[in-house]
Amino acid sequence: MAISASMVKDLRTRTGAGILDCRKALAENDGDTEKAVDWLRAKGIAKAAKKASRAATEGSVFAYIHGAGKLGVLLEVNCETDFVARGEDFQEFVKAVSMHIAASGPQWVTEDEVPAEIIEREKAVSIAQAVEQGKPQNIAEKMVAGKIAKFLKENCLMTQAFVMDEDKTIADLQNDFIAKCGENVKIRRFVRWNLGEGLEKKEDDFAAEVARMAAGEA
């Protein structure tokens, strides 16, 4: 069933969820708005959206160190109260996100943070690759949108598939935790350090080791 803009707008008004989440909910439920509402509620998205406007000024800066000091992540996650920030569930959440960052190496938290010049550069590269493959210019330009979407999904933390459960994105993980703790929770910023990054050195399988640990294999 075709999902119209008015259907998405109506669902968004009712739930406060984002446009993409509303469109996905409608697509998953054959355009049935009531079922889409329940779908968003079940996933915690509707509840998370309603809490998104509430101030989240407490939280924690969490440090994760892996590989005997070879890799480090510093992550800030905000919530509404110090009570939640000091809880075991919150600490487990920020640790899981930190381990994901260590394993997956995102560059930004959300798509909004990606500089415009980066997007333009990726577009230019994508068009040049398509033309090199013999695609007509007009077809090459149409292919760009999909490649840019893939680039953003792979490099922005919130849209990456969670390394411990690839059926969920980090945004899904955050929404699940919001539904669980009852507060607005926001992954604000992070820094990822890899020992010797930018220096010429012998390659090893450290990244694979981090991924294995994040997946519970190490």
152-174 tens-digit pLDDT: 999 999 999 999 998 889 998 99
Least confident of 113-117, 120-124, 134-138, 214-218: 214-218
Helix (H, G, I), strand (E, B) or coil at 31: coil
Secondary element (H or E) of residue 2: none
Task: Give dist(CA 185, CA 177) in Å, integer.
Answer: 8
Q: 167 and 149 in one domain?
A: no
CATH of the domain at 130: 1.10.286.20
Same domain, 178 and 80: yes
Q: 24-63 pLDDT, tens per residue?
A: 889 999 898 888 888 887 776 766 666 666 778 899 999 9
Helix or strand holding residue 122 (H, E)? helix 116-132
**Rounded Cα–Cα distance for residues 92 and 77 (Å):** 12
| Model confidence at 14: pLDDT above 50 | yes
Average of per-residue pLDDT across 110-118 = 93
Same domain, residue pair 182 and 195: yes
Q: Residue 117 carries which DSSP code?
A: H
Q: Which of 153, 170, 173 is nearest to 111 (CA)?
A: 153
Q: Which of 31, 77, 87, 59 is nearest to 186 (CA)?
A: 77
> Do β-strands 71-79 and 161-162 pair in parallel, antiparallel, or remain unpaired?
unpaired
Statement to judge: residues 122 and 205 lie in one domain = no
CATH of the domain at 185: 3.30.479.20
> What is the residue type of 16?
G
- Would you say 165 and 104 are in contact if contact means Cβ atoms under 8 Å apart? no
Same domain, 39 and 145: no
CA 176 – CA 180 distance, rounded (Å): 6
The strand ranges marked E within the chain are 58-66, 71-79, 161-162, 165-169, 186-194
Task: Quote the pLDDT of residue 218.
Answer: 46
Share of the chain above pLDDT 90, in %: 40
**With contact defined as beta carbons under 8 Å apart, do 110 and 156 qualify?**
yes
Residue 199 binned pLDDT confidence (cut-offs 50, 70, 90):
confident
Residues 162 and 210 in one domain: yes
Higher pLDDT, 87 or 124: 87
Structural domains of the chain, count:
3
Which structural domain, as residue segments, surrounds residue 203?
58-110+156-214
Residues 85 and 74 in one domain: yes
Residue type, 62: F
Of the candidate ranges 21-25, 38-42, 70-74, 97-101, the one whose mean pLDDT is the lowest: 38-42
Q: How far apart are CA 130 and CA 143, in angstroms?
A: 8
Distant-in-sequence, close-in-space partners of 160: CB < 8 Å, separation ≥ 6: 100, 104, 106, 153, 154, 169, 170
d(CA 66, CA 48): 31
**Do 65 and 98 fall within a single domain?**
yes
The amino acid at residue 148 is: I
φ, ψ (nearest 5 deg) of residue 188? -90, -50
Residues 44 and 67 in one domain: no
Residues 119, 15: one domain?
A: no
Considering the domain architecture, whether residues 80 and 185 belong to the same structural domain is answered as yes
Quickly count: other Cβ atoms within 10 Å of residue 177's Cβ. 23
pTM of the model: 0.68
Interval 83-107 mean pLDDT: 95
Same domain, 103 and 160: yes
